[in-house]
Amino acid sequence: MSALAQRMRVSTIFFDFGGTLARLGIDPHEVWTTVCDDFSLGVTQEAILAANQEADRRFAGELFSYHGRTREFWRLRDMWVLEHLGVQDRREEVFEALQRVFEDPTQVHPYPESVRVLEALRSAGYRLGVISNFTDHLLPLLEFHGLRPFFGSVTYSQEVGVEKPDEQIFRRALERSGSPPEEAVHVGDSWEADVEGARRSGLSPVWLDRSGGEEPRDCSTLHDLSGLRGVLERLEGRAPRPS
């Protein structure tokens, strides 16, 4: 595990959500294929994939303007996909079937160590927050899985109108937490969004690489959240606690 060659006072720790605190167990293409098969729509997997890719391009950026009305956005987008696929009948039923899967909180699985690590950090006096590229569905997900009470702030891209690595989302989170960037750490699994975004915003990044690949030399790296206390102790110049 590499560590940054500096000492700092850490008061606040931010976490990414998907891939960091929880595994998102939904493959959108598989969901679309299964639902289309269930309704015997007679469309191929290739057509479904192409239609959804075109929808992603066509509706890129519009999700931000639907904050608080996210379901309206998905209806607009998914109805376009169904029309593009030539589906004429039962569109509303198909849409509702899709949403039952996409909105199902049991499709999201917190990693085994997440709650234990959050409990330990909160007991140690750190302020905790979330910074995530997500919709307003993030809040009920955190509530459902019992994670919301750990966080003094939750900042997500749909409400801010930009995604990580844009500095604006990190600044908003810092404002909410009342923490200066030099006292904040951000933990996430995306090198570009989390590591580079945090670094450009003045936060100290910790890269969570669950693949167990080669560690970069210029960033503290974890393979699961269990080692985060050790990283914090090194950043703060304290001797690691014996395990």
Geometric angle at alpha carbon 173, from 105 and 169, rounded to 5°: 85
Write the CATH number of the domain with boundaries 12-21+111-235: 3.40.50.1000
Query: Alpha-carbon distance 107 to 117, whole Å?
Result: 22
Query: Alpha-carbon distance 227 to 15, whole Å?
Result: 14
Query: In this structure, what token pair is assigned to residue 85?
Result: 């696929």
Q: How many other C-beta atoms are found inside a 10 Å radius of the C-beta of residue 40? A: 8
Q: How would you classify the pairing of strands 22-24 and 108-110?
A: antiparallel
Write the CATH number of the domain with boundaries 28-106: 1.10.150
Q: pLDDT per residue over 205-220, tens digit each?
A: 999 999 887 666 689 9
pLDDT higher than threshold 50 for residue 2: no
In this prediction the pTM is 0.91
pLDDT higher than threshold 60 for residue 60: yes
pLDDT higher than threshold 90 for residue 194: yes
Are the folds of 12-21+111-235 and 28-106 the same? no
pLDDT higher than threshold 70 for residue 100: yes
The candidate with the shortest Cα–Cα distance to 177, out of 64, 10, 8, 7, is 10
Q: pLDDT per residue over 160-192, tens digit each?
A: 999 999 999 999 999 999 999 999 999 999 999
Q: What is the pLDDT of residue 8?
A: 82
Q: What is the pLDDT of residue 231?
A: 94
Assign 185 to helix, strand or coil. strand
Phi then psi for 92, rounded to 5 degrees? Answer: -65, -40
Domain ranges of the chain: 12-21+111-235, 28-106
Q: What is the pLDDT of residue 242?
A: 46
Q: pLDDT per residue over 9-53, tens digit each?
A: 999 999 999 999 999 999 999 999 999 999 999 999 999 999 999
